């Protein structure tokens, strides 16, 4: 039986995050649960197989590659295809503290994401939803900073799935953002 790109991406995600022992900050569950949730949301709104794959892989370069370089951009390109590769690159925040304070880094990232494709913005909306729910539940103090940043991002993201945009907007509005 042939393994689909989607199944391959899910396993790649699990293997990558497990390779560095990454856990969710607040719940200590396997980190791969987050991209699995993001991929599920993308699939629920009719995302393509490539979008679902990119959702599984969206944090690999940002979180795993600096610690385990085997999980790099070329590995993603070799295992999947150029469309998935480009979506993952677009979803990867490459800013570092050397790029300025948090506010300036988030502003640059916001500007960059506002120009990304509807597919990438759909995945980013799913990511925003999953992260927001976790942060609001487990870290209300940081949530004030995080949700303000996400409101600013949501205000410039004009593409992406409207259902996910509405859910993200509801989460932010419910908290006063």
Task: Give the residue numbers spanning the domain of 64.
Answer: 5-174
Report the distance separating Cα 154 and Cα 56, nearest Å. Answer: 21
Report the distance separating Cα 22 and Cα 124, nearest Å. Answer: 21
Q: Are 9 and 49 in contact (CB under 8 A)?
A: no
In the numeric block, the tokens 């039986």 are attached to 1
Tens digits of per-residue pLDDT, 86-108? 999 999 998 888 888 999 999 99
pLDDT at 75: 98
Which among 54, 61, 55 has a CA at the least distance from the CA of 82?
A: 54
Report the distance separating Cα 177 and Cα 172, nearest Å. Answer: 5
pLDDT at 95: 85
Tens digits of per-residue pLDDT, 48-59? 999 999 999 999
- Residue 175 pLDDT > 90, yes or no? no
**Domains contained in the chain, number:** 1
Tens digits of per-residue pLDDT, 109-137? 999 999 999 999 999 999 999 999 999 99
Report the distance separating Cα 81 and Cα 83, nearest Å. Answer: 6
Tens digits of per-residue pLDDT, 44-83? 999 999 999 999 999 999 999 999 999 999 999 999 999 9
pLDDT at 68: 98
- Residue 1 pLDDT > 80, yes or no? no
Q: For position 86, which CATH number holds?
A: 1.10.3210.10
């Amino acid at each position: 039986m042939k393994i689909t790109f989607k199944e391959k991406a899910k396993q790649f995600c699990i293997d990558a995050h497990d390779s560095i022992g990454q856990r969710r900050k607040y719940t200590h569950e396997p980190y791969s649960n987050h991209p699995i949730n993001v991929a599920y949301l993308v699939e629920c709104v009719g995302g393509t197989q490539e979008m679902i794959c990119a959702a599984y892989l969206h944090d690999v370069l940002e979180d795993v590659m600096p610690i385990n370089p085997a999980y790099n951009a070329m590995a993603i390109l070799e295992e999947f295809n150029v469309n998935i590769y480009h979506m993952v690159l677009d979803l990867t925040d490459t800013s570092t503290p050397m790029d300025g304070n948090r506010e300036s880094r988030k502003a640059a990232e916001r500007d960059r994401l506002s120009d990304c494709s509807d597919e990438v913005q759909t995945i980013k909306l799913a990511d925003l939803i999953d992260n927001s729910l976790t942060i609001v539940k487990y870290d209300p103090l940081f949530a004030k900073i995080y949700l303000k940043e996400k409101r600013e991002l949501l205000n410039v993201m004009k593409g992406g799935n409207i259902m996910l945009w509405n859910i993200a907007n509801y989460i932010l509005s419910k908290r006063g953002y």
